[in-house]
Structure 1
Amino acid sequence: MTGDSVLLERADGVAVLTLNRPSAKNAIDIPTTDALVAALRALRADDDVRAVVLTGAGGDFCAGGDVKGMADGGSRTVEQRRAGMARYAELARALAGLDKPLIAAVDGVAFGAGLSMALYADIVLVSTRARLAMVFHRIGLVPDVGAWYQLPRVVGLQRAKELIYSAREFGADEALRMNLALEALAPEALMPRAMELARSLANASPTAFSLSKRALASTLQSDLETMLDMEASSQAIASSSAYFREAIRRFAAKEPAQFRWPNKD
């Protein structure tokens, strides 16, 4: 546990990070943002944690920033407001810098910064009652937590423009169609599936996963030769790992592989 507004549980190589402000639909205020950053940094440094699930308590993922808290800061200068945004920048860096599998289990609302956070997940699972929106323009704000960067890379530039400009709400089926989510599940099946995938990924090679995640994060800004060079260096590292040696031994001995991807029923 990291504090009342963010819960952290670890078991069998999987950490579950839960936003815990259900009365506010898990909107993130300053203490929650700071707690999230601290938890993500701790998880990155914890070698016993091999996969992370990010979710929200009470049937919602995250309603975004705490609008009531924003109203309380009406007398702040532009400079003070810009300095305050540094917290969201640190949250974006902490999410992007997590070199382990990150699964977002999105139930209920994922608005504004909530949707921005989900964009950093390697796998996004949504419930059939999920409601998502880049709501910022509704109240005269611009996207934050790095959404200008992440959203076009997930859904494409034109769709990102439409979602940001319109600030409209969309559901699970559309999230699947635009490749924002991998699977849509009944609410009661959401966390079991997230945990199933997380436990599977916890058995994958942490070295290979980290190298692939780093490469995929840079591929849209790189050229073929750069990626081929990264591939050669990364493969040399991965093939030197104890995980690879054990995988080869199991293959030769016709033993079950350490890593298997669970099919969806």
Structure 2
Amino acid sequence: MANSTNTSTFPIQPEHADPEPDAIAIIKRSEGITTITMNRPKKRNAIDIPTAKKLYSAFLDFEADASQKICVLHGNGGTFSSGFDLTQLATWHGELPNMAQHSSITRGHFEPGCRCSMEEQSGCRKL
């Protein structure tokens, strides 16, 4: 399923474009298993805009790779994710984004491979 989310419309200040280049780690195994690790344990793996963009890219890459059949998403440091990084809101100037416009960030990125374990598997293209 093609995803048309345009992440370039997310507010982000250029001087803080990517403060954590290692926030996401991706491991692909020859057995067809991709592991995506959120690596922000000091923030309880809260998802800021740079991390959301990296997750988005990682899921698109997983879906495009026919050799990978299973995607495991987990958080480093004992916490899966505390959700959106609210401290980032304090750095935004001007109008906040319309999150409904970007609702695929929360569900669309899990289609179809990663969301298979959350929903009925019969409709999953990766199976």
| Superposed pair shares fold, TM > 0.5 | yes
CA distance in 1, matches of 2:44, 2:101: 23
Kindly indicate whether residue 84 of structure 2 is the aligned counterpart of residue 69 of structure 1: no
Gaps of 5+ in 2: 1-20
Match of 1:55 in 2: 74
Residues 34 and 87 in structure 1, CA contact (< 8 A), matched pair in contact too: no
Please list every run of at least 4 consecutive aligned residues from structure 1 whose deviation after the TM superposition is greater than 2 angstroms. 84-92
> What residue is the counterpart of 2:60 in the other structure?
41
Q: Which residue of 2 aligns with 1:8?
A: 26
Give the SS at the match of 1:81: coil
- Pair 87,64 (structure 1): closer, same or farther in 2 beyond 3 Å: same
The alignment's C-alpha RMSD in Å is 2.4
- How far apart are residue 72 of structure 1 and its match? 2.1
| Structure 1: runs of 5+ lacking an equivalent | 103-119, 124-153, 155-208, 215-265
The change in CA–CA distance for 1:6 and 1:86 in structure 2 (over 3 A counts) is farther
For 1:57 and 1:5, how far apart are their aligned partners in 2?
Answer: 10
What percent identity do the matched residue pairs reach? 26
Kindly indicate whether residue 91 of structure 2 is the aligned counterpart of residue 81 of structure 1: no
Please report how far the alpha carbon of residue 70 of structure 1 lies from its aligned counterpart in structure 2 after TM superposition: 1.2
Q: C-alpha deviations, 1:100-145, integer Å up to 9, x for none?
A: 3x3xxxxxxxxxxxxxxxxx4615xxxxxxxxxxxxxxxxxxxxxx
* Matching residue within 88, 110, 123 for 1:213: 123
Which has a greater percent of helix?
1
* Contact 1:33–1:88, Cα closer than 8 Å, also in 2: no
| Partner in structure 2 of residue 122 of structure 1 | 117
Give the direction of change, closer, same or farther, for the CA distance of 1:30–1:9 in structure 2 (3 Å limit): same
Give 1:87 shift.
Answer: 4.3
Query: Letter of the aligned partner of 1:9 in structure 2?
Result: I
Q: Which residue of 1 aligns with 2:17?
A: none
Q: Which residue of structure 2 lines up, in the alignment, with residue 22 of structure 1?
A: 41
> How far 1:94 sits from its partner (Å)?
1.7
Query: Matched residues in 2 for 1:121 and 1:70: separation?
Result: 32
Offset at residue 92 of structure 1 (A): 2.2
